[in-house]
Structure 1
Amino acid sequence: MSTNGSITPSTLSPKDLPWQIFWQRDKCSLCGNCTAVCPVNAIEPAVHRQRLVQTTMGLEA
């Protein structure tokens, strides 16, 4: 296999990477240490908002 050029982080997309980052929600404190050491800035700590809808109409599942 021959190469025609160099690969830089700007030429890669998330689909080109064969791995996924798995984390454990109950152990993560969003401290940012993983973000600080990631060489391509692929990890971004964020808080995802969720909406909870409750009904009082007596509907049973």
Structure 2
Amino acid sequence: MLRGYFLEAVPDPAPAPVPEPATVLLLGAGLGALGLMKKKHSDLTAAPPHLRRCEN
């Protein structure tokens, strides 16, 4: 027989904090800017059509 073991009422943990709308907006703007920078950089590194090699 087990003595001294019993169930206690455990309070619920505090809910996770919800991010503020401004934080989500700043994060989205930063990710969007990174995406645009990557797109612009990839466009600049591509060779213009008249300098591309024809592979026949």
Per the TM superposition, whether the score is higher than 0.5 is: no
Q: Identify, as 1 or 2, the structure richer in helix.
A: 2
Q: Which has the higher contact order (CA 8 A, sep 6+)?
A: 1
- When normalised by structure 1's length, the TM-score is 0.23
- When normalised by structure 2's length, the TM-score is 0.24
